[in-house]
Structure 1
Amino acid sequence: MKIILTELLEIYRKEGGVAFLPGISAVIEAISECRDMDDPRFREAASIYRVLAGSKSGFSDFYIEKETAEERAIKNIRLDYVRQELWRIFG
Structure 2
Amino acid sequence: MDIGGLLTTAASLMVTGMVGVFVFLSILISAVILMSKVVGRFDDPATAEPTRTAKIQPQQGVPQAHIAAISAAIAQFRNKQK
Q: Same fold (TM over 0.5)?
A: no
More relative contact order, 1 or 2 (CA 8 Å, 6+ apart): 1
Q: Please, what TM-score do these two structures have when normalized by structure 1?
A: 0.26
Higher Cα Rg: structure 1 or 2?
Answer: 2
TM-score in terms of structure 2 length = 0.28
